[in-house]
Structures are given as C-alpha cells and as structure tokens.
Amino acid sequence: MKRISAASRNLLLVAIAGVVLFATPVLAQPLPADVITVGTVSGEGVVAVPVYIRDTALTPLGIDQPAGSRIQSFSIRVSYAPTTAVQSISFTRAGITAPLTPTFESSPSVPGSISLLATFDETTNLIPFTSNAPLPGNLVGQLLVTLSPSATPGQVITLTIDPVLTQLTDEGGTPGTIETVANGRLILVSGAITVSSAIPTVSTWALILLALSIAVFAVRMRLS
C-alpha cells in the first residue's frame, strides 16, 4: 500500500477542516432592537405606571441615525386584566415627551385595553432620546390607573403590551424603518400592578385631639 507523505497528509487535514468549517452552521446573531417597557409597581387607590422606550444604537430608528430616521412616532397598546379590578384608566405622555407638541395624538380605549399614539415633527420637536440608555430607557408615557373598590390587597393586575399594534416609526411612518416585534427590531417588556393594602391615615384634627389629651394627662399627673 502506497504511503501518504507528511505534506500530503497535512494538506488533506486542512481540506477536511475547511469542509467541516464550511458545513457548520453559523449561529445568527440577534438584531439590535429598541425596547418598550411598562413598569411593575404596587399601590392602592390611584396608581401611576411609567412607560419607557429604550433607543438602542444601530437599529433602523434612533438618535444615532441620520435626520429622517429618528424615533418620532409611537403606537403603544396595553391590555389590562382583570378588568373588574380597574375602575378607570388613562394613558398620557410623560418624561421626555411631556414638553413636546405632537402633530398627532390619540388615546383610544376599549374595555380591557388602552393605547397611546403620538407623532412629532423631527425638525421642531425632536424626541431627545439617550442612545443606549440603561434599561428601561427614557420615560415617555404614564398609565394612570384608578383601582376598583373590589380590588383586593395582593391582587395582581397584568399590563400586557400588544405585540401586533405596538410599533415605533419615524415621523412619516416610512415602511422600511418601522420597528415591530415581528421584524425583530422591537422588544416588549410588560408590567403589572400589585394592589397594596390601604394604610389608615391620621387626620389633622385627630392629631390635635391626641396632643390635647396628652397635655391634659400631663397636667393631671403634676397636680396629683
């Protein structure tokens, strides 16, 4: 049997290694994605829930992108359950969007869900996002939830972001730059409210009466 020289053997090994390397699938790296987060809080009575957007670098939209490709419009739909635990709810701008003037704004609602849609002119009302801000990002909105009297301490009200109707766009809604969950450019982090027990508060008059009672008791003790 003919023996293979050392040089030929090395070339053969290199060729085999190349074939194996070529055949091995390369794991796809996740695309950079912006993040929308609804806060998780606890409270009773009227509860404010923050809503954030994180502007991640290298996404189609962002403060790091050229003019015309900034996050200037958003549609965020939040569903809440159980509906019986919520007496009323509103969704308004807050944080970095509060002082801006939108060209369009709407907050439609149906039982069990509410949305906030807003669009801003990039030239006159640029949304001042911080690129790659620590999570959860910049505050852009607020849910104001009035809990129902039937809500019980310890009960959890889920606040789920709709993955279909929630999206980020530039001010014109350019199709090529729309960020959604479906195209892998948007991550949603839903939140919740945990109903806390009410802490009884002492009224001003009760405090005055308590102080007078202590004073009278002290005087009596001195006279006795």
Tally Cβ neighbours within 10 Å of residue 167: 23
CA distance 42 to 195: 6
The confidence band for 29, taking pLDDT boundaries of 50, 70 and 90, is: confident
pLDDT at 11 over 60: no
Report, as an integer, the average pLDDT of 160-165. Answer: 98
> What's the pLDDT at 197?
78
pLDDT tens per residue, range 178-197: 999 999 999 999 999 999 97
Convert 39-49 to b/e letters by CB count within 10 Å (16 or more is b): bbbeeeeebeb
pLDDT tens per residue, range 64-117: 999 999 999 999 999 999 999 999 999 999 999 999 999 999 999 999 999 999
pLDDT tens per residue, range 58-74: 999 999 999 999 999 99
